Amino acid sequence: MNINPYYTRLANAVKPYKKRIGLALLGMIGAACTEPIFPYILKVLTDNGFSEERSMPIWQVPIALVGIFLFRGMFTFCTQYYMAWVANKLLSDLRDAMFKRTLNVSIAYYLNESSGRLINTIMSEVQQVVEMVKVSINTLIRDSITVIVLMVFLIYQNWQLTLVALLIIPSMAYVVRITSKRLRHLNQHQQNLNSELTQVVEEATRASQVIRIFGGQKYEHRRFRFKSEKLRGYAQRVTVVSGSTTPLTQMVAALAVSIVIVVAMRPSLLPFHSHQFTSGDFVQYITAMLLLLAPLKRLSDLNGPLQRGLIASESVFNLIDTPIEPEGGIDLDGRAKGNLEFVNTEFSYAGQEQRALKGINLRVNAGETVALVGMSGGGKTSLVNLVPRFYTPTAGSIKLDGHDLADISLTSLRSQIAMVGQNVVLFDDTIAANIAYGDENPDQARIEAAVKAAHLTDVIENLPLGLQTEIGDNGTRLSGGQRQRLAIARAIYKNAPILILDEATSALDSESERAVQAALDSLIQGRTTLVIAHRLSTIERADRIVVLTGGEITEIGTHTELLQKNGTYAHLHQLQFTKELEVE
């Protein structure tokens, strides 16, 4: 995997925060510069502090130590504060960019992406990316500066001894290089399994009723346990590989210190030596070397989060780079009349050879109600989904008031359409907010009118907070019929000239259906309406009925005309009539 583009993207992402990063770097430099002072104080203390002829006041060393750690603490706080600010802002910006992208990608994108993977990328993987940036700046730069400062100090004290120690460093680099490749491979599998586990949890939460009624608890638990154990295995392997780096590098460092101790005690081993080490010189040099171990250890541990972050950054930036729905196009002047025309329209889903719609030619006049009927898979839902441009025809065109839908901006087009689907989608908010959804300045009078038209008044009056009642996740605190009526109230509130009803009364009992059907009858008046329905009461009210079979229009006409033809519609009508009689 070419990692350079991700480094570049992340560098560009943090560029707006360069001033704060600069302040953090000043803190790092300041803290690093205090490192050699402590060994020097120990040297002075060793050489002078314990002799009978003490050449320095006893209080100087304690005051110097307090001063050093005071300044060091200030520099460290500065670094941590500004790096935390940058990390939190970057996390917020990346999540915002990803979420905004998910709101603007095409509907087809969700056919190939699981919700669990998307949630995992936005909530979990992005944290690993930010952690990589934070660690890269905070640890890589800070500890590198510390190592450089201490190395300069050591070279200044004894360059030959330091050169001997440096000969061991290539061994550390070799260990890190070997583990990097293995960690990248393991982290890729770990990220994928984490997404799969999130998907299992999301599905189990969403399908809680189905799981219970069909006794799927054991199966779901086994599925979760399998993924969880597999993830644990990879996590353990990552720990083994990452954890082995530390003791190996520490062994190399210990070897370097040991060699230095031997040479310091026998300076004659060096090719050039000008003087014997004093006790203070030895303590100073060894202390500085020991101070090197902590930053070197952190630098060796950096490999793990770097590899995890690079793998996660691929998912994050792939999501951010996902193509969005086409922008641009004309804006319709005011309210559309609602004349719809399908001209040789064809459509196929991505990756499928079979056409979902074939040569559709249909004109729907303004204010006309057209019912779409047919067996499952006939193309009814595919047809209505082309109107708001959830999908784009693969051939032919669709026109609204003479304008090709492809030439109209999506915002303008969708502002002319209201939709009530079979699977009602509600938001974890108040009833009022759900009815006026999408309106930045809700009109209370229109909300109340929509409630009345959808026959929700009795429901609202029985709730303690009325319209301000929170309905829970997807309206879990409401019954199925109440949820359906709330969705209809939302369509009534929008007052769009084009209405799409996809099994809009399917979840209602007979009494609720009669109440809502009356509201729909008044709502439909003057609006172009496409209705997908199976109930006779809904179909028979349509101005025309279109029968779709295998993606093609096989019959079209009024209810009476199609019954007289004694074709597909008559057969479907008889089946539905028999079914409704059995229910009654």
Query: CB of 401 within 8 A of CB of 339?
Result: yes
Of 505 and 429, more confident:
429
DSSP category for residue 440: S
Question: Residue 336: what pLDDT?
Answer: 93
Q: Which of 14-18, 334-338, 521-525 has the lowest mean pLDDT?
A: 521-525
Of 246 and 481, more confident:
481
Question: Residue 507: what pLDDT?
Answer: 54
Mean pLDDT of 18-22: 91
Distance CA 392, CA 346 (A): 9
CA 224 to chain CA mean position, Å: 21
Domains in the chain: boundaries:
4-320, 332-416+533-584
Distance CA 581, CA 584 (A): 5
**pTM for this structure?**
0.76
Question: Residue 479: what pLDDT?
Answer: 81
pLDDT bucket at 528, cuts 50 / 70 / 90: very high
pLDDT in tens, 122-177: 888 898 888 888 888 888 888 888 888 888 888 888 777 777 767 666 666 666 66
pLDDT in tens, 39-97: 888 777 777 756 556 556 667 777 877 888 888 889 989 988 998 899 899 989 998 99
Mean pLDDT of 407-429: 88
Distance CA 83, CA 337 (A): 56
Question: Residue 55: what pLDDT?
Answer: 59
Ramachandran assignment for 158, one of left (phi > 0), alpha (psi -120 to 50 degrees), beta (any other):
beta
pLDDT beyond 80 at 484? yes
Query: CB of 397 within 8 A of CB of 345?
Result: yes
pLDDT in tens, 346-386: 999 887 888 999 999 999 999 999 999 988 888 999 999 99
Give 239-286 as a DSSP string: HHHHHHHHHHHHHHHHHHHHHHHHHHH-GGGSS---SPPPHHHHHHHH
Architecture of domain 4-320: Up-down Bundle (1.20)
Of 23 and 223, more confident:
23
pLDDT beyond 70 at 312? yes
Give the strand order in the sheet containing 357-364. 357-364, 340-347, 395-400, 403-404
Cα–Cα–Cα angle for 314, 318, 320, nearest 5°?
120
pLDDT beyond 90 at 397? yes
Question: Residue 582: what pLDDT?
Answer: 46
Ramachandran assignment for 494, one of left (phi > 0), alpha (psi -120 to 50 degrees), beta (any other):
alpha
Question: Residue 53: what pLDDT?
Answer: 60
Instruction: List beta partners, residue 499.
Output: 418, 529
Main-chain phi, psi angles of 421, to 5 degrees: -95, 170
Mean pLDDT of 258-270: 70
Mean pLDDT of 452-476: 87
**Rounded mean pLDDT of the chain?**
82
Q: Which fold has domain 332-416+533-584?
A: Rossmann fold (3.40.50)
pLDDT beyond 60 at 21? yes
Distance CA 288, CA 148 (A): 12
Question: Residue 207: what pLDDT?
Answer: 64
Do the domains 332-416+533-584 and 4-320 match in fold? no
Question: Residue 153: what pLDDT?
Answer: 85
pLDDT beyond 60 at 275? no
